[in-house]
A and B are shown apart, each in its own frame.
Chain A
Amino acid sequence: MIQLKDIRKAYQTDYTRLEVLKGIDLDIKAGEMVAVMGSSGSGKSTLLNILGILDDYDSGDYQLDGTLIKNLSQTQAAQYRNKFIGFVFQSFNLLPFKTAWENVALPLYYQKVDRKDRRDIAMEYLRRVGLADWAEHLPNQMSGGQQQRVAIARALVSQPKVILADEPTGALDSTTSYEVMDLFKQVNDEGITVILVTHEHDIADMASRIIRLKDGMIDN
């Protein structure tokens, strides 16, 4: 599903050049559940941004489901993101002025799904995360765990090949964290590749594989 070959990325500041990724080779198969671990500054966020087509890389090759992701225009990047990838963030990132179902339906809008179908599809996914009754609530009327489940429903609604989760349990207590992780496992069981960045070992242990980053390299 995902093949990285010698990915390098550096940030140029005024005085220094900071190499963040120093040649990453990585192969993730379809249906895997992978945890990326590493201390802060190890490059794990940068790697996730590159995987999520949110950021460019300097050299190397990134193949996503057989498509070379390189030198894309902003519009192409947006289209690939919409088609291949579902994001889940630590801070949920729901639009505060939209209700739960409207948030879930948003990727469908950008996929140009018919207006009448969007609500039905969004409701279906809300049901799957157990929040059908909360469809008309605004994010600030829900608990953190509920918001994250809405975010997961939103990530799933566009039927992506890959779910990228950046510290998805970072803002949740442990009980809620495990509930959210159960949800990720269910998703994974349906054959969707899940990649999550975390620094919590118990969370990482639930993945089928752990990739450790250290100083911009994969540390085996």
Chain B
Amino acid sequence: MFDIDKWQEIFNSIRRHKLRTALTALGVFWGIFMLTLLLGAGKGLQNGVEYQFRDDATNSIYIRRGVTSMPYNGLSKGRPIQFYNEDFDYLADNFKDIDHLTARFYLTGDQTVAYGAKKLSFPVRAVHPDHKYLENTIVVEGRYVNPIDLREFRKVAVLGKTAKEGIFGEDEAIGKEINIGGLIYKVVGIYEDTGGENEMRVIYIPVTTAQKIYSGTKELHQLMFTAGDLSVPEMKKIEERIRQDFAVRHQFDPKDEKALNMFNLAEEFEQFQNLFGAIRIFVWFVGIGTLFAGIIGVSNIMLIVVKDRTKEIGIRKALGATPYSIVSMIIQEAVFITAVAGYLGLMAGIGLMALLGSMEVDYFRNPQVHLGVAITATIVLVIAGALAGLMPAMQAAKINPVIAMKSD
């Protein structure tokens, strides 16, 4: 294997037979390149979609208020549905599977936030303490909104990292008082969110405080909850029960899809999971097909290469080449060419993937190839090429040199 002479023979042969070498190499290169691309693109698609879900609890249901689209019990259609604290309590009391429940109260538009001479504007959401589980909020300093805040209508604020840096820069923020929309709030916590910069602009305040100050009613704008590790059909059942119960509470037709706007993340997520299962199978199917095409291509070329070299083999034999030296020369050359071409294909594929990975596209993100899989595929191709060359090479090494020399 490390016989310098043999390698010189091989390099000499490669140099003098550029077309033959290029054709063999191209088959392997293309096979591995396409396979790498295919596996990477599949993974990129999956990463992209999982990224879209990353900052939300995946087993959750969001309930938004809708407008009735059917008349019911003498009430005309086009009636907006309102949520109140009673709806929140109803969910908390009657659904044992709910483990984190929160409502949202939105303040209209962004609020002007003032601190010292600084004036900035940020969105403000009024929430329950459990809200942090629904948005995968990570409190990095201080604390989140807590039940005592709600009970005592405290004017406290939890700032996202972006908002905090905007207002305070590098300075300490906890305990400081800021002016939100004309009222003074005390900063009690800083949070991070995997959802990105925009998600971290939001300022959270207690829901009861907001109701008292901004509406004077017990109104809520949205209800959200997670339900532990319930299966998708179980989630679906809860969704249906809520629709039935709310239809009674709010006097709308249970068949009226528009009255409640229910968004079942678990179902959504599962659909994507299923889609990925299918894509994965498809990718493997095509990948194995590509690999087979590569194997057949390489085998074909090896057969032609050996045929092409029959006369040369005869001459070498007459000059004292042993069958072993002939077979090993052909196989070593084949293995060398396929290995180098496979490696280049792998690198080209990974390179292109890195290029694609640097692009910001929705639902496509960080495409990557399982390196082990790609290397295995290359090795399979190299071995296939060697095996495909082995049979005809052994045959050729056995034939009478006189006959071999007469072939053209």
Interface residues of A (CB under 8 A from B): 45, 49, 52, 54-55, 74-75, 78-79, 81-83, 87, 89, 91, 93-95, 97-98, 102, 106-107, 109-112, 115, 154, 158
Contacts and interface: CB of A to CB of B under 8 A. Distances in A.
B319 A154 contact: yes
B322 A87 contact: no
A107 B398 CA distance: 19
Interface stretch (B83-91, B145-153, B309-317, B345-353): B309-317
Contact of B5 (A94, A98, A115): A115
Q: Is chain B's interface secondary structure helix, strand, loop, or mixed overall? A: helix
A9 B101 CA distance: 98
Nearest to B315: A93
A79 B312 contact: no
Interface string B261-275: 000000000000000
B182 to A, nearest CB: 89
Given A93-B318, A95-B312, A109-B9, 11 more contacts: A49-B402, A54-B400, A74-B322, A74-B398, A82-B320, A95-B315, A97-B12, A97-B17, A115-B8, A154-B319, A158-B319
Given A79-B322, A95-B312, A97-B17, A89 B9 contact: no
Contacts of A95: 312, 315-316
B405 interface: yes
B321 interface: yes
B318 A87 contact: yes
Given A54-B402, A93-B405, A97-B13, A81 B4 contact: no
Interface of B: 4-5, 8-9, 12-13, 16-17, 311-312, 314-325, 397-398, 400-402, 405
Contacts of A110: 316, 319-322, 325
A181 B320 CA distance: 25
Contacts of A93: 311, 314-315, 318, 405
Top-10 shortest CB links A-B: A82-B320, A97-B16, A110-B320, A78-B322, A75-B322, A107-B319, A74-B323, A93-B315, A87-B318, A81-B320
Contacts of B17: 97
Nearest to B9: A109
Contacts of B315: 93-95
B12 A98 contact: yes
Contacts of B321: 78, 110
B319 A106 contact: yes
Contacts of A112: 5
A48 to B, nearest CB: 9
A113 B311 CA distance: 24
A82 B400 contact: no
A81 B318 contact: yes
A75 B324 contact: yes
B319 A54 contact: no
A102 B316 CA distance: 13
